[in-house]
Amino acid sequence: MGTNVYSLVSRGAQRKKFIRVGKYHLVNKNGRIEKSVEAHKGATTIGKWSSDGSALLTAGEDGLIKIWSRSGMLRSTLVRTNFPILTCCWSPDCTTIMYSQGANLLLQPLNSNSKPRKWHAHDSLILVICWSQMNGLIVSGGEDCKYKIWDANGNQLYSSSVGDHPVTAISWCYSSGNYFAVGSFNTVKFCDKNGWTHSMEKLNTGSIYSIAWSSDSTQVAMACSNGKLLTGHVIDKRLEWDNYEATLVRKKVIEVREVGNEVREVLEISDRVVHLEFGFGHLVVITPAQCHVYSVTNWNTPAIFNLKSNTLSAVLLAEKHFLIVEWNTVLLYSYQGRLLGTPKWKGLTQEPLYPPCISLCSDTLVIRDQNNMKLLHILEVAYNKPITEGQTHSHLQNVTQVALNHIGGINDRQLALIDINKDLFLIAIRTTGFGRVCKIAAMAQNIAWATDANVLAAMLDTTLSVWLCPNCVHYSDRKVIRRTRIDKESSEFGKQPSIVSVRNGLVIVRRGDGAIIASSFYTLFTSLHQHVLNKRLKEALSLCRIAQNEILWTCMAVIATDNKELDAAEEAYAAIDRFDKVDYIRYIKILPNATEKYAEMALLAGDLLAAEGILLQSGLIKEAIRINIEIYNWNRALELAVRHKKQLEEVLEARAKYLQTIDKKETNQSFLTYIAKSQPINEKNNEKEFNAKDDAEQNKLPSHEMQL
């Protein structure tokens, strides 16, 4: 028996497992050994419980990886190799095992029929790996004195510089997956999920062999080679909102500074701070048992209430309320500390929620399904109303990030999402469900909406793109879309930049090395949005006339069109030389029928569905068919003509003239079918007309007979 002892706790079973050379022991919470099992020949090098506590993984110097039940019964021998297994871990969904062989990493599914995937990861022996349960990222460390970050497909996302000593311990934080700790000889680092180092501490403890985080991800424990156990606490977190800055200076003390007048407030919390968020004029502070809500107008008397659980994952702030995410539960609170509700949706399970795929605004909550990563649940969280689930959205690919806009009512709500292919989509959410879905960019890394205007910012590889009027992406006019987007490509963003916040005309970007960069290039457009939100259209037009900026005029045209302000839209389109739009607006103005006018205005905004719905609701079938013909939406025009039994011949005739103009033959099967049906009818009608003319000629009397 050796002297090295390793330990692990199963959350589900409330048991401890002590691994000695060749054996492991199951120990209950009272410290009594319940069972001892001969697991490997030679040393047992690693042992890990699955995230749900239903299975146990062990690996040893004999090159075997075995899966055991909670009671210690052998289920399977998953891997057989000729070399010792130094490290291995479970995947987040517990369906795959990752382990190292020399300088290579391998993924072995639990399905024995599947072959392992292998890739070269380090320049020498890999000593430690860790797979995050929250974000799905993998971090590895080895004797080449580097640590590297990988995605689940084996793509390298980050590689550190060469250190002084081999990396001997690595661990992701438990709750959020935003940070991880790296241990080596006399050194411990606290790193961001993008790889850059928040802080580094030099110790006098020898090599760090093991690192474990607390469940709230604020404390870390380290086992050292000199026999000491070290503990640490995460501090110095800094948040900003407008001209305020909040800093966690000690584990129970927060310092708030108002930039400009040097006013400082020191907030002393009764317990250690687990999490804090700053936004919408409120500072939300979470402790292990309570939540403290401070207002920027009153730092002395916070709203305090008790929490139901201490397994915090995230806190999301909105204008009127905020959301606390606890593992698989979400709780909605007002800033006065009142519980507004516990949102639930169809298919809610015990699996953990993924915070980047949860978004909250003043009236809507979007949550990705726990089991189906393509399915989004849309919940209405209007004030003083029960929380209800609306229409769901099923995307074509797995969704990795979602974001809701904050400005406007529920009819103005828009959802931006990034899927696993890094494609950026924009969805218009309406009271009756979803509007059009548009892909607006590729290679998107992250997204953020401005909190004071309907402005969307996204990092597209190393380019920062800002959509000043994102709703115009649903237009059919691509020129308008291009003119409302600003791109800023700069080498100063570096690799893997991320957007921190968008407010007051500033886009705050954090580079891959942790440096903060502020980009200010849409301040005028914020003023324009504020004028429109406050219904000051004259001031908005005056701003455009003074600035004489093409992008500003284009935004004015889009906003005026959406608000059905034809005079302002006409002036804005004229300023950007879109005289076709000016002529169309003048045509709309002279329409006598108000219903047709509203339909044409919706068509001007590119919303064919809304225009058609307005006409059909008023019984204007012919006009609904006409607008579909005018924009060459032939299938819909034919469908309406057949359904309502009106103007079928006109649709077929217009289709024939269109094909004759472009010199093409009819290939649409639906049109071919109705053309074939209409030909015999036309022949009969022509025959009847011919017979009628013949009878009329025979019945005619000669002119001299008529005189008689």
Q: Would you list the DSSP string of 599-624? A: HHHHHHTT-HHHHHHHHHHTT-HHHH
Of 250-259, 379-388, 553-562, the one with minimum mean pLDDT is 379-388
- Tell if the pTM clears 0.85, that is, is over it: no
Give the burial class of 518: count Cβ atoms within 10 A of its Cβ; 0-12 exposed, 13-18 middle, 19 or more buried: exposed
Query: Please, are residues 281 and 269 in contact by the beta-carbon 8 Å criterion?
Result: no
**What is the pLDDT at residue 527?**
85
Note every long-range contact of 283-286, with CB atoms under 8 Å and residues 24 or more positions apart, other chains counting: 283/239, 283/241, 283/246, 283/254, 283/256, 284/315, 284/317, 284/322, 285/254, 286/312, 286/315, 286/324
Strand positions, DSSP E, 327-432? 329-334, 339-341, 358-360, 364-368, 375-380, 388-389, 393-394, 399-404, 414-419, 424-430
Query: Please, are residues 448 and 503 in contact by the beta-carbon 8 Å criterion?
Result: no
How many CB atoms neighbour CB 569 within 10 A? 26
For 13-41, the pLDDT digits (tens) are 344 444 446 888 888 888 888 889 999 99
**Mean pLDDT over residues 286-315, rounded?**
90
**What is the rounded CA–CA span in Å between residue 444 and residue 356?**
14
Instruction: Examine the pLDDT at 589 and tell me if it is beyond 60.
Output: yes
**What is the rounded CA–CA span in Å between residue 341 and residue 65?**
46
How many CB atoms neighbour CB 573 within 10 A? 26
The amino acid occupying position 202 is: K
CA distances from 289 to 274, 293, 353 (A): 10, 14, 21
**What is the rounded CA–CA span in Å between residue 506 and residue 508?**
6
Task: For residue 317, list its beta bridge partners.
Answer: 322
**What is the pLDDT at residue 447?**
95
Q: How confident is the model at residue 704 (pLDDT cuts 50, 70, 90)?
A: very low
For 553-588, the pLDDT digits (tens) are 998 988 888 888 899 999 999 999 989 889 989 999
For 605-654, the pLDDT digits (tens) are 777 777 888 888 888 888 888 888 888 888 888 888 888 888 888 888 88
Query: Please, are residues 329 and 309 in contact by the beta-carbon 8 Å criterion?
Result: yes
**What is the pLDDT at residue 162?**
94
**What is the rounded CA–CA span in Å between residue 106 and residue 98?**
6
Give the burial class of 230: count Cβ atoms within 10 A of its Cβ; 0-12 exposed, 13-18 middle, 19 or more buried: middle
**Mean pLDDT over residues 182-192, rounded?**
94
**What is the pLDDT at residue 610?**
78
**What is the pLDDT at residue 690?**
47
Between 688 and 23, residue with greater pLDDT: 23
**Mean pLDDT over residues 399-423, rounded?**
91
Of 41-55, 433-447, 655-669, the one with minimum mean pLDDT is 433-447
What average pLDDT does the structure give for the chain?
A: 85
Instruction: Examine the pLDDT at 475 and tell me if it is beyond 60.
Output: yes
β-strand 329-334 against 321-326: which pairing, if any?
Answer: antiparallel
β-strand 126-131 against 117-120: which pairing, if any?
Answer: unpaired
Give the burial class of 300: count Cβ atoms within 10 A of its Cβ; 0-12 exposed, 13-18 middle, 19 or more buried: exposed
Q: How confident is the model at residue 390 (pLDDT cuts 50, 70, 90)?
A: confident
**What is the pLDDT at residue 21?**
63
Q: Which of 159, 166, 153 is nearest to 194 (CA)?
A: 159
Instruction: Examine the pLDDT at 476 and tell me if it is beyond 70.
Output: no
Indicate the helix (H) or strand (E) that contains 655: helix 648-662
The amino acid occupying position 83 is: F
CA distances from 170 to 167, 174, 185, 452, 512 (A): 8, 13, 13, 40, 20
Indicate the helix (H) or strand (E) that contains 569: helix 566-575
Instruction: Examine the pLDDT at 361 and tell me if it is beyond 50.
Output: yes
How many CB atoms neighbour CB 512 within 10 A? 18
**What is the pLDDT at residue 559?**
87
Computed over its alpha carbons, how large is the radius of gyration of the chain? Answer: 33
Q: How confident is the model at residue 680 (pLDDT cuts 50, 70, 90)?
A: low
For residue 45, give both structure tokens.
């090098």
Q: In 88-119, which positions are buried (b, 16+ CB within 10 angstroms) versus exposed (e)? A: bbbbbebebbbbbbeeebbbbebeeeeebeee
How many CB atoms neighbour CB 252 within 10 A? 16
Most distant CA pair in the chain, distance: 139
CA 438 to chain centre: 15
How many CB atoms neighbour CB 285 within 10 A? 24
Of 128-137, 575-584, 598-607, 672-681, the one with minimum mean pLDDT is 672-681
Residues 6 or more apart whose Cβ sits within 8 Å of residue 677: none
**What is the rounded CA–CA span in Å between residue 673 and residue 702?**
47
**What is the pLDDT at residue 461?**
83
For 37-96, the pLDDT digits (tens) are 999 998 888 989 998 888 999 999 999 999 999 888 999 999 999 899 999 999 988 899
**What is the pLDDT at residue 178?**
86
**What is the rounded CA–CA span in Å between residue 366 and residue 375?**
10
Indicate the helix (H) or strand (E) that contains 625: helix 621-630
**Mean pLDDT over residues 162-169, rounded?**
94
Give the burial class of 516: count Cβ atoms within 10 A of its Cβ; 0-12 exposed, 13-18 middle, 19 or more buried: exposed
